[in-house]
Structure formats: C-alpha cells, structure tokens
Amino acid sequence: MSPVHLLAWPPPPGGLPAPPPGAEVVVVHDAGAPPTSDVVAHLLDALVDGVDAVATVRPVTDAVKEVDDDGAVVGVVPRDGLAVVGLPQAVRASAWADRVGAPPAPDATPVDAVVAAGGVVRAVVDPS
C-alpha cells in the first residue's frame, strides 16, 4: 500500500490538513519522534481491507479505580481489555478526508475521529 504521507502531531493551527494528492495513507506520529520504516511497515500490515485506521496500543499496567461523584473510590476496574492508545497511527486518506479542516478536540487524534464517525479501527501492540 502506498503512497504514505507522514504527519507530525499535533497538526498546525486551522484544523486537520488535507492529505497530499495521491496519498492513500496518513501516518500520524509524535512531532518529536518520527517513526522508523519498520514501525510504518507494522502499521501498514495491519491496515487490511475493511479497516479504516490502525492505532498502536500498550496494555494498561496501572491500577484503575472507579471514583464516584463525591470523590470516593468505589471499586477497581479490571484491566483486561483495556489499552492506552498512542502514536503512531495510520489512517486511510479516504477516512481522513471527511475530517479535513475540522478542529481536533482536545487530546483527540485522527483515530478518535474515525471511531466517532463509525469507522473501523484496529489496535496493534506498540512495536517500540
């Protein structure tokens, strides 16, 4: 799958930029840590037919507590099935296109926008 366009995150002011003409996939990465070619290949391998985006994840290792409205700890949330989503992420340009110009919500990434739009996102273990 190609061509691939790399985009440092967060994007410049003014909302999400359009992928360049001809781009099939946008790989979003931390501005201070561009992905290696091996990591990009790992993401593209997971971007199979029927998947709109791929997000790297790490398992949750901290204890997660449930807290009520009064601030009391009322339980422990099982960590099975929980993951922290991070960067890099790969998004098909076609799934990205309907979000162009939209200001990202605070702390939101393009994968969050794909999920909100009903798209299919696949999680892969962060290879780093």
Secondary structure string (H, E, C) spanning 61-94: CCCEEEECCCCCEEEEECCCCCEEEEEEEEEEHH
pLDDT at position 101: 60
- Model pLDDT for residues 31-51, shown as the tens digit of each residue: 888 898 999 999 999 999 999
Question: pLDDT: is 127 or 114 the higher one?
Answer: 114
pLDDT tens profile 81-120 = 899 888 999 999 888 776 666 656 666 777 887 887 888 9
**3-class DSSP state for residue 34?**
coil
Residue type, 40: V
The pTM for the full model equals 0.81
Using alpha carbons, list the distances in angstroms from residue 81 to 3, 59, 61, 90. Answer: 33, 8, 11, 21
Question: Encoding tokens for residue 33?
Answer: 């840590």
Q: What is the pairing mode between strands 53-59 and 25-30? A: unpaired
